Amino acid sequence: MIDDLFANDDSILRQWQEPLAKDAVVLRGFAYDEAQALLQHITAIAEAAPFRHFVIPNGHTMSIAMTNCGTFGWTSNEQGYRYTETDPMSGQAWPQIPTIFLQIAQQAAHRAGFSHFIPNACLINRYHPGARLSLHQDKDEMDFSHPIVSVSLGLPATFLFGGLQREQPCQRVTLTHGDIVVWGGDSRLCYHGVLPLKDGIAPSPLQDNVRYNLTFRHVSRH
């Protein structure tokens, strides 16, 4: 009987949901089975649009390295943050979002209650030990009717998820390989960040001290 209930589908055992706030949820293990394919695509994207450490308007260089795929890519320099249709390093369009990225992002959004998510931007973050992302809101997209879908790969990280004001307390959520966080609706502009990455060895095939994060967004033309 127990055997029947759990059949042979391991993903049933590896996937569950943890609500974070209204319109925000952690989908545990949701991208686990596709993780290897996602990592292969990240490698291919980074060959066309290499990872780089952006400078931010206060003059500091970000500790995480970034690249993008999609119609729009997030960029930063001393003047400010903005989405661009071309990679400032090459002057070329950003690589296209691979179909499997779109499928996972849309399935995750759907599972979280956002059925009409059409991502046109995917920011790819790479963390090595010590790299962090300070508390911020994702608000450069201009259109807040679409959620943010965030896929974690590689080493675990402590994700901070706060409220609509910076001063509000944050929940601390450990995100591991294959986890997805979706936040939209009333939570779309919630502050969030990532604590400094701890050293470790990421799951196969990475086997390296690295974490990748994909965030899917819908950017309106501006």
Could you list the residues that contact ligand SIN (CB under 6 A)?
123, 125, 133, 150, 159, 192, 194, 213, 215
- Considering the complex, what minimum distance in angstroms separates the CB of residue 12 from ligand SIN? 25
Q: Taking CB within 5 to 8 Å according to partner kind, which of ligand SIN, Fe ion, none is near residue 213?
A: ligand SIN
Comparing CA positions, the residue from 116, 69, 114, 65 lying closest to residue 92 is 69
Q: How far is the CB of 222 from Fe ion (least distance, A)?
A: 18
Select the residue whose beta carbon is closest to ligand SIN and give its number.
Answer: 213
Is 15 or 125 the residue whose CB approaches ligand SIN more closely?
125
Among 10-18, 59-67, 81-89, 136-144, which window interacts with Fe ion (CB under 5 A)? 136-144
Least distance (Å) between residue 59 CB and ligand SIN:
21
Judged by CB under 5 A, does residue 141 bind Fe ion?
Answer: no
Residue closer to Fe ion, measured from CB, 46 or 181: 181
Q: Closer to Fe ion at the Cβ: 15 or 124?
A: 124
177 vs 192, beta carbon nearer ligand SIN: 192
Nearer to Fe ion, 15 or 157 (CB): 157
Among 23, 34, 87, 138, binds Fe ion (CB under 5 A): 138
Give the chain as a 3 state SS string.
CHHHHHCCCHHHHHCEEEEEECCEEEEECCCCCCHHHHHHHHHHHHHHCCCECCECCCCCECCCEEEEEECEEEEEECCEEEEECECCCCCCECCCCCHHHHHHHHHHHHHCCCCCCCCCEEEEEEECCCCCEEEECCCCCCCCCCCEEEEEEECCEEEEECCCCCCCCCEEEEECCCCEEEECHHHCCCCEEECCCCCCCCCCCCCCCCEEEEEEECCCCC
Residues found near Fe ion in the complex (CB under 5 A) = 138
